[in-house]
Chains A and B, each alone.
Chain A
Amino acid sequence: MLEFRQVHKTYATPQGPLRVLEDVTLRLAAGQSLALMGESGSGKSTLLHLAAGLDLPDHGSITLAGHNLATLPEPARATLRREQLGLVFQQFHLIPSLNVIDNLRLQARLARRDDVAWTAHLIERLGLAGLEKRYPEQLSGGQQQRLAIGRALAPRPPLLLADEPTGNLDETTAGEVLELLLNLVRETQCALLVVTHSPQVAAPLDRCLRLRHGQLVSSAL
Chain B
Amino acid sequence: MIKALPTVLATLLAHYRRHPGQLAMLLLGLWVASALWSGIQAINATARDSYARADALFDTRLDQLERRDGAPLTRADYHALRQAGLPVSPMLEGEVVTQDGTKLTLIGIDPLTLSSDNPLAQADTSASLTHFLTPPWQTRVAPDTLAALGIKRENAPGATPRLANGKTLPPLILTPALPPNTLLMDIAAAAQLLANSEAPASGEQITRIVTAAGALSEPPVGLTLTRASSPASPGQLTESFHLNLTALGLLALVVGLFIVQAALGLALEQRLGMLRTLRVLGVSGRSLIVALSIELLLLGLIGALAGIASGVWLARRLLPDVAATLGSLYGAGVGQELNLPWHYWAGGLAVSFAGLLLAGGGVLWRAAHLNLLELGQMQAWRNGYHRQLTFMGIGGALVLSIAFALYSWLHVQPPGDGLVAGFGLIAALLLASALWLPPFLAMVIKGLTHLARRRPLIHWALADMQLQLPRLSLAMMALLVALATNLGVSSMVGGFRLTFLDWLDQRLVAPLYLNAPSTQYDDIDAWLAERPEVSERLLTRRSESTLLAINSPSNSPSNNASNSPSESRSTTLLVELYGITPGASLTPHWPLLATIKDRPSAWAAFDEGAVFVNEQLATAEGLSPGDRLTLSAPNGNITVLLAALYPDYGNPSGQVLMASHQLAARFQAPANSMGVVVHDNANVDALRDALTTRFGLSSDALSNQGEIKRIATEIFERTFTITRALNVLTLAVAALALLATLLAQARSRRQQLAPLWALGVPRAQLAWLNLAQLGGAALLTGLLAIPLGIVITWGLVAIINVAAFGWRLPLYVFPWEIALTLATAVSVALLAAAIPALRFWRASPRALLSEEAHQ
A interface list, Cβ under 8 A from B = 49, 52, 54-55, 74-75, 78-83, 85, 87, 93-98, 102, 106-107, 109-112, 135, 137
Given the interface contacts A79-B1, A109-B7, A110-B7, does A96 sit within 8 Å of B18 by beta carbon?
yes
Across the interface, do A79 and B18 meet the contact criterion of CB distance under 8 Å? no
Q: B280 contacts A95, CB within 8 Å?
A: no
Closest residue of chain B to A151, judged by CB? B281
B3 in contact (CB, < 8 A): yes
B-side contacts of A97, CB under 8 Å: 11, 14-19, 274
Shortest CB-to-CB span from B292 to chain A, Å, is 15
Residues of chain B with a CB closer than 8 A to A109's CB: 4, 7
* Cβ–Cβ contact A93 & B376, under 8 A: yes
Contacts of A82 in B (CB 8 A): 4, 281-283
Q: Could you say which residues of chain A place their CB within 8 Å of the CB of B8? A: 110
- Determine the chain A residues whose CB is within 8 A of the CB of B281 once the complex forms: 81-82, 87, 106-107, 110
Residues of B within 8 A of A83 (CB): 282
Cβ-defined contact, A137 with B854, below 8 A = yes
> Which residues of the other chain, B, contact A79 by a CB distance below 8 angstroms?
1, 282, 284
**Contact at A95–B4, with CB atoms within 8 Å?**
no
A164 to B1, CA, bound (A): 30
Report if B279 contacts A (CB, 8 A): yes
Expressed in whole angstroms, the minimum distance between the Cβ of B135 and any Cβ of chain A is 76
Which residues on the B side are within 8 Å of A93 (C-beta)? 273, 276-277, 280, 376
Check A106 against B273 for contact (C-beta < 8 Å): no
| Selected contact of B274 from candidates A49, A95, A102, A107, CB within 8 Å | A95
Output the least CB separation between A155 and chain B (Å).
9
Q: For residue A96, which residues in chain B have a CB less than 8 angstroms away from its CB?
A: 18, 273-274
Chain B interface (Cβ within 8 Å of chain A)? 1, 3-4, 7-8, 11, 14-19, 273-274, 276-287, 372-373, 376, 854
Partner of B14, one of A52, A75, A98: A98
Contact yes or no, A81 B373, CB < 8 A: no
A112 touches B282 (CB 8 A): no
Q: With both chains docked as a complex, state the minimum distance between the C-beta of A120 and any C-beta of chain B, in angstroms.
A: 19
Contact of A95 among B1, B3, B14, B287 (CB under 8 A): B14
Assess the A112–B280 pair: CB atoms within 8 A.
Answer: no
- The 8 Å CB contact of B11, one of A49, A80, A98, is A98
Determine the distance from Cα of A46 to Cα of B278 in the docked complex, in whole angstroms. Answer: 19
Closest to A86 in B: B281
B287 near A106 with CB under 8 A, answer: no
CB-based contact A110/B285 at 8 Å: no
Whether A110 contacts B276 in the complex (CB less than 8 A), given A78-B284, A87-B281, comes out as no
Which residue of chain A lies nearest to B375 when distances are taken between CB atoms in the complex?
A54
Find B3's partner among A78, A81, A107, A112 (CB 8 Å cutoff): A112
> In the complex, A85 Cα to B279 Cα: how many Å?
12
User: Known contacts A93-B376, A97-B14, A109-B7: does B283 contact A54 (CB below 8 Å)?
Assistant: no
Of listed B1, B4, B7, B273, residue having the most chain A CB within 10 A: B7
Q: Are A54 and B14 in contact (CB under 8 A)?
A: no
Complex Cα spacing A55 to B16, Å? 31
Inside 8 A of B282's CB, which chain A residues have their CB?
A: 78-83, 85, 107, 110-111
Question: In chain A, what residue has the closest Cβ to B853?
Answer: A137
With both beta carbons as reference points, the residue of chain B lying nearest to A94 in the complex is identified as B277
Tell me the complex Cα distance, A52–B19, Å: 31
Apart from the given pairs A55-B372, A75-B284, A110-B7, 14 other A-B contacts in the complex at a CB distance below 8 Å? A75-B1, A75-B286, A75-B287, A79-B1, A81-B280, A82-B4, A93-B277, A97-B16, A97-B17, A98-B14, A107-B281, A109-B7, A111-B282, A137-B854
30 contacts between A and B (CB under 8 A): A52-B280, A54-B373, A55-B373, A74-B285, A75-B284, A78-B1, A78-B282, A78-B283, A78-B285, A79-B284, A81-B281, A81-B282, A82-B283, A93-B276, A93-B277, A95-B274, A96-B273, A96-B274, A97-B11, A97-B14, A97-B16, A97-B19, A106-B11, A107-B281, A110-B4, A110-B7, A110-B278, A110-B281, A111-B4, A137-B854
